[in-house]
Amino acid sequence: MSARLIVDAAGPGVTVQDEGRFGLSRYGVTPAGPMDLGAYFAATRAAGADNAIEVSLGGAAFRAEGATLCVAVAGGAFDVRLDGRPLPSACLLLLAPESRLVLRAGAWGAWCYVAVGGTLDLAPILGARATHARSGLGPKPLAAGDALPFADAAPAPLEPLALTAPWLASSGASVRVLLGPQADYFAPEEIERFLNARWRIGARSDRMAYRLEGPAIRHRRGHDIVSDGVAMGAIQIPGDGAPLALLADRQPTGGYPKIATVIGADLGRLAQLRPGEDLSFRAVDWDEAVAARRDYFAAIEAGAERAPLCAEMTAESLLAENLVGGVVDARD
């Protein structure tokens, strides 16, 4: 059965994303893909989808046309409402043609994912449907009035279900990094300055990079290197000493020294920070980074738990259903 998801409203930065286009950096093609891979997987796996709509702080609103759609939502603690009824920010629901799903920024988090069960009927570009707005690759950023066609619509629950995904990133904790690959471009006291500082996400941050505001980090061997490949989470230090944390829409190569790289398990935690929010970094060794990544993806493979909602959607019932599983130690 074919159907369409109609975009009723969309703030800046609402895009279609899949896991990204990899293997093309040698040709200058950036990966794109989701800012928070764990939240993306929480939504896509719950809905049975291989892509999702990434919603930024400006929010979005959707409705179905032609058939009922199975929709999963996951990400930051967004305000999610179905026909005005508040739902958990991680949930699985039935979106009927006469209904309207609205997402707005909530208590924390910068990105939220809306996945529709079925097959998105858009041709891939260079093997992916991920949007990279700067280069124009992939579908254009979504705007009010756009319609996304879906085939083979998946079945949906009659009543919304809360999703508990323990791996969903939360804010308020330090972000773990591996030092390097050009840590030797910085004196030991500058590396300590980087690790001991309290950084703020700058207003000039986007899907390409988060600009970090704080003390200037000085180079001891100049601020230019022979350009080499960059990974998501690489933290460059340009000539002005203000770190740049490279993210999903990063350039394929960079010519500034990289003092550290955010470990894979903490990329979502970094991405979910909003402009103006603070963070700190903690250096870990290779073994801890690998173990954290292994645990992170093991949790994703285990899948999200689903639970029926309370009959009365009070603040208390939402808290009972919607808290991310597990405990985060603010000292981490």
Render pLDDT for 224-268 as a digit per residue (tens, 0 to 9): 898 889 999 999 999 999 999 999 999 999 999 999 999 999 999
Contact between 259 and 182 (Cβ < 8 Å): yes
CA dist 219 and 190 (Å) reads 8
Contact between 78 and 111 (Cβ < 8 Å): no
CA dist 106 and 111 (Å) reads 10
The residue with greater pLDDT, 142 or 135, is 142
Contact between 164 and 89 (Cβ < 8 Å): no
Q: Residue 146's pLDDT band (boundaries 50, 70, 90)?
A: very high
**What percentage of residues in the chain have a pLDDT greater than 90?**
77
pLDDT per residue as tens digits for the range 107-128: 999 999 999 999 999 999 999 9
Return mean pLDDT, the chain: 90
The residue with greater pLDDT, 231 or 317, is 231
CA dist 33 and 41 (Å) reads 12
Res. 173: pLDDT tops 80 = no
pLDDT reported for residue 155: 79
CA-CA-CA-CA dihedral for 10, 16, 20, 25, to nearest 10 = -70
Which two structure tokens, joined as six digits, stand for 17? 């994303």
pLDDT reported for residue 214: 96
Neighbours of 326 (CB within 10 A): 12
The residue with greater pLDDT, 16 or 167, is 16
Nearest in space to 218 (alpha carbons), one of 170, 274, 266, 257: 257
Q: Residue 152's pLDDT band (boundaries 50, 70, 90)?
A: confident
Neighbours of 107 (CB within 10 A): 10
Res. 318: pLDDT tops 50 = no
Q: Which CATH number fits domain 175-292: 3.10.129.10, 3.30.70.580, 3.30.930.10, 2.40.100.10?
A: 2.40.100.10
CA-CA-CA-CA dihedral for 324, 170, 158, 63, to nearest 10 = 170
pLDDT per residue as tens digits for the range 26-80: 888 989 999 999 999 999 999 999 999 999 999 999 999 999 999 999 999 999 9
SS3 70: strand
CA dist 288 and 30 (Å) reads 28
Q: List the alpha helices (DSSP H) in 204-263.
A: none
pLDDT reported for residue 320: 41
Res. 319: pLDDT tops 50 = no
pLDDT reported for residue 331: 40
Question: Domain coordinates of the chain in residue numbers?
Answer: 3-165+304-322, 175-292
Contact between 119 and 113 (Cβ < 8 Å): no
Tell me the one-letter amino acid at 112. Answer: C
Return the sign of the alpha-carbon dihedral for residues 119, 125, 131, 133: negative
End-to-end CA distance of the chain: 48
Q: Residue 2's pLDDT band (boundaries 50, 70, 90)?
A: confident
pLDDT reported for residue 81: 98
